[in-house]
Structure 1
């Protein structure tokens, strides 16, 4: 046998014992339902660049699905005092957000004329209407009842989003955890209307300062605080990259969903999710 024949890819596959016949067994494509996933892109315009726009948003929704899966489990673990598992999940969410930040780099290759060519075909569809993104916002504590309205036309979706709106946020559960660990947290932040936006409180900052001034004594709470800061840091970067990409591609036009576009997105940059964890740093 010649050396060339010995190095033939098919011979290597046979030597490795790789499975080649999937007429009876589940294949890679079967497991991932790739026929359905890869046939879900249906451009409406004749423009080459619409495929980029569709794939960008579909993959982002897939990452958000995983993000919600991890965040909701993390909230449950915090509520049940299972912090090691929660730390792992929150760290994973931060890494997912990094992927979403870099995804904007790909969309930013679309120029204004290229986007303008497909924009008429989008009608009123907009990322503003993403129910998964809204669940993420609500789970992180940015509650706003007006954000339920874009989903009112679909009762099943509305029910899912509304459940996140009504539930304690990740930060709410963290404050309840601190109280269970003997840290003094005001009662107003332990039992309240969870549908209302979180309001920063000096007493909550003092509670966190107790943790941060004695990290060895409160190590798991200290680590929880830093996981939350990592998470918000990554979320801010995701939002900022969104703003800059939209401004680069459409300038200051109104969004397809009816918002002011860049103006609306810039306002979102001012939202602070875990305020006391940021303000306490000045006093350390």
Structure 2
């Protein structure tokens, strides 16, 4: 820069050393867990969800690198998918904290103070879905609209809205109304931005050039199954653990229809349909293992 190096060295001598707690903003981070009740296990609940959102942030970081790579190669694509699958592997394993790690009686009490909020309102998970596949693959199978309609019209028939209907009236829950008011427009903008940048579009572009690889296909299949089968089965186990009882299941905090919304067999949701055989698609969510 044409400046005197010794002046900068003198300045370094006067500066404080960087500490770990300043680098990770430890005090700020630990101040963000603010339970709404006095039940001890609510701290587990809120901390776990914050950790999950941080992993979602890392997933989105990798998805952005893939979608915006100026000259995407199969090797780069595969390496980033391996990272994403590691993040989701940790999330899958960590769900035991939710399934086994809280007192059921405490949960059923403190959850009432959280109404109408719900994990359904995790916008980062919706971002991941939109950044992963063509928008038409996220529509309800009964959507009465052509899949080439404008995205703002297609958004009205995105599959997860069916899971946020009141069980008795079949009307939108307050949880969904709040979510749409805050994020609806931004989700449509993201879908527009990623029409040609989502993972499926990137895979198809490589395949058209004859640059697809078996290794990349395996990582994409793994990701598809982790997000659309294993992650949702983990949620289902948690819901059954805390909300299932005889004769009638307990409604989720946001009033979401978890019995129909969470099971992968009910959703039949997949990001990369041409990476699966017809038989695998037919039995989606019924068996979890290598390649279904």
Shift of 1:279: 0.4
TM-score in terms of structure 2 length: 0.68
Q: Number of residue pairs matched?
A: 221
Partner of 1:107: 98
Does residue 80 in structure 1 map to residue 77 in structure 2?
no
Does residue 250 in structure 1 map to residue 243 in structure 2?
yes
Shift of 1:99: 0.9
In 2, distance between residues paired with 1:269 and 1:91? 25
Alignment partner for residue 130 of structure 2, among 138, 148, 151?
Answer: 138
Partner of 1:27: 19
TM-score in terms of structure 1 length: 0.70
In 2, distance between residues paired with 1:223 and 1:76? 21
Does residue 153 in structure 1 map to residue 146 in structure 2?
no
Shift of 1:153: 2.8
Alignment partner for residue 126 of structure 1, among 118, 130, 139?
Answer: 118
In 2, distance between residues paired with 1:137 and 1:47? 34
In 2, distance between residues paired with 1:81 and 1:44? 46
Shift of 1:159: 5.0
Shift of 1:150: 4.9
Q: Which moved more, 1:141-150 or 1:39-48?
A: 141-150
Alignment partner for residue 62 of structure 1, among 19, 32, 54?
Answer: 54
Partner of 2:87: 96
Partner of 2:208: 179
Give deviations 1:24-73, integer Å, cap 9, x for gaps: 12210111111111100111111011001001100000000001101221
Q: CA RMSD in A?
A: 2.5
Shift of 1:281: 8.4
Give yes or no for contact 1:138–1:165 (8 Å, CA) kept in 2: yes
Structure 1 portions without partners, runs of 5+: 1-22, 182-217
In 2, distance between residues paired with 1:40 and 1:162? 30
Give deviations 1:137-179, integer Å, cap 9, x for gaps: 112225341459653333xx54543333222221122112222
Q: Which moved more, 1:161-170 or 1:48-57?
A: 161-170
Which of the two has higher C-alpha Rg?
1
Give yes or no for contact 2:138–2:269 (8 Å, CA) kept in 1: no
Structure 1 pair 280–177 and aligned structure 2 pair: CA distance change class (3 A): farther
The residue matched to 2:16 in structure 1 has which SS?
A: coil
Alignment partner for residue 263 of structure 1, among 260, 265, 285?
Answer: 260
Give yes or no for contact 2:92–2:231 (8 Å, CA) kept in 1: yes
Q: Which moved more, 1:107-116 or 1:138-147?
A: 138-147
Give deviations 1:188-241, integer Å, cap 9, x for gaps: xxxxxxxxxxxxxxxxxxxxxxxxxxxxxx6x4322211211212322211211
Give deviations 1:223-262, integer Å, cap 9, x for gaps: 2211211212322211211111111111232222231123
Shift of 1:124: 0.7
Give yes or no for contact 1:74–1:87 (8 Å, CA) kept in 2: no
